Amino acid sequence: MIAKETIIEAFKEQFNQQPTIVVKSPGRINIIGEHTDYNQGFVMPAAIDQYIYVAVSARNDNELHLYSADYKENYQTALNQDLSNAPDWSKYIIGVSEIIQAKTSKINGFNAYVVGDVPLGAGLSSSAAFSSAIGFALNELFQIGLSRVDLAKIGQQTEHDYVGVKCGIMDQFASIMGKDNHAIQLDCRDLSFDYVPLDWENYEILLLNTNVKHNLASSAYNDRRASCEQAVNWIKEQYSSVESLRDVTVEQLEEFVLPKSQDVYTKSRFVVEENDRVTKSNIALKNHEFDALGRLLFEAHWALSKQYEVSCDELDFLIENVQEIPEVIGARMMGGGFGGCTINIIKKGNRDQVIEKITPLYKAKFGFEPTALKVSIGNGTSFVD
């Protein structure tokens, strides 16, 4: 947690004035439902108690004066300028600003200061927290009147059009709509959702960061999405009502996709089966069947690794070894893949014991340690008190 006074002082140092608004937007975990969001499927994310903070003030001109404390970098521009030399972090601010401006014509010049404590590249969706925070801040600064769901969609569009990642809506939705001690059972087709109470009592969440950084834009993320779309197109030739893998059965994949491509079949089958795991996990949580939930998490990990092929040696090593620890009831890789964190559901009070068991094994294998992160489930985007 970064104190509001600290952010205000840093803002004044950069811009010689007080910020008008200071907001925070959380990172997120995803209990289960990976790579289903961009296939109109089901997911179960939750907001966490680590944030991206944005402080803003209006300017008297049309310029955007931006500063990232994490990158220790200034950038000045205006709307609708060439972005070829813009730092990557600035594209989230510029993208959100230009999309809101195109929709409402209400954005003017502003100063923005950004700082965060969401680990970058850990699969905790720091980028979605960033776009949600800037959208919320500008919406308030210029009194635009956009809804939270509008802001989630704008964050997603920013990733698509300005960053080059064809992400689903889950990360932005979780960041902006999160609720304390609840997960969100989200239908990514129509954005209907339920808050699912996380009555852990005897359990807690431990994240283990592989400390392998990943960049979704340069990874195979977009290739996976293309495979899913290809499967849908092949089935759509026979069933015109099919819109996404959400509408598809394993039998249809076997009949219409497998004969054309083993690879496309394997990856699309993962999505169909992952949707089923989310539904079963929701039931398990509501019935307090935590062992069943844990088994589903382990199953999901190995499907992500072997079917969808978005894991890596470090992630697989962590899961393989925590499966041998009785205090861990379930675990899987989390996020887009190719690094980042594992999410582990452990019996309460055993955090240090689990870390002590896994750390030396990991270091002996890879030469460096994983980082343990304890997170709590919190509320979505809000003003900083």
On whether 65 is known to bind a ligand per the annotation, the reply is no
pTM of the shown model: 0.90
Side-chain half-sphere exposure of 197, counting CA atoms within 13 A: 6
On whether 67 is known to bind a ligand per the annotation, the reply is no
pLDDT for 277: 98
Q: What is the DSSP letter of 377?
A: B
Q: 143 to each of 58, 132, 262, 380, how far by Cα in Å?
A: 12, 16, 52, 20
Determine the Cα–Cα distance for residues 197 and 265; give it in Å rounded to an integer: 35
Determine the Cα–Cα distance for residues 373 and 370; give it in Å rounded to an integer: 10
On whether 160 is known to bind a ligand per the annotation, the reply is no
The verdict on whether 61 is a catalytic residue reads no
pLDDT for 218: 55
Task: At 79, give phi and psi (nearest 5°).
Answer: -70, 150
Over residues 257-306, the pLDDT tens digits come to: 999 999 999 999 999 999 999 999 999 999 999 999 999 999 999 999 99
Q: How many CB atoms lie within 10 A of CB 159?
A: 24
pLDDT for 25: 99
pLDDT for 120: 78
Side-chain half-sphere exposure of 260, counting CA atoms within 13 A: 15
Numbers of helices and strands, H then E, in the chain: 11, 13
Query: Residue 144, SS3?
Result: coil
What HEC string does 221-265 produce?
A: HHHHHHHHHHHHHHHHCCCCCCCCHHHCCHHHHHHHCCCCCHHHH
On whether 289 is known to bind a ligand per the annotation, the reply is no
Q: Which residues of the chain have pLDDT under 50?
A: 217
Candidates 62, 54, 73, 60; CA nearest to 98 is: 62
On whether 247 is known to bind a ligand per the annotation, the reply is no
Q: Kindly calculate the radius of gyration of the chain based on its CA atoms and give it in whole angstroms.
A: 21
Candidates 186, 194, 195; CA nearest to 44 is: 186
Side-chain half-sphere exposure of 208, counting CA atoms within 13 A: 30
Candidates 184, 208, 202; CA nearest to 378 is: 184
Q: Beta strand 341-347 with 63-68: parallel, antiparallel or unpaired?
A: unpaired
On whether 125 is known to bind a ligand per the annotation, the reply is yes
On whether 36 is known to bind a ligand per the annotation, the reply is yes
Q: What is the DSSP letter of 310?
A: -
Over residues 326-374, the pLDDT tens digits come to: 999 999 999 888 888 999 999 999 999 999 999 999 999 999 999 999 8
On whether 221 is known to bind a ligand per the annotation, the reply is yes
Q: What DSSP assignment string belongs to 168-196?
A: -SHHHHHHHH-BTTEEEEEETTT--EEEE
Query: Residue 352, SS3?
Result: helix
Which of 171, 194, 223, 352 is flagged as catalytic?
171
Determine the Cα–Cα distance for residues 208 and 358; give it in Å rounded to an integer: 10
Tell me the residue length of the chain: 385
Determine the Cα–Cα distance for residues 154 and 166; give it in Å rounded to an integer: 13
* Structural domains of the chain ordered from first start: 4-196+379-383 (3.30.230.10), 203-374 (3.30.70.890)
On whether 68 is known to bind a ligand per the annotation, the reply is yes
On whether 219 is known to bind a ligand per the annotation, the reply is no
On whether 124 is known to bind a ligand per the annotation, the reply is yes
Determine the Cα–Cα distance for residues 141 and 26; give it in Å rounded to an integer: 20
Amino acid letter, residue 236: K
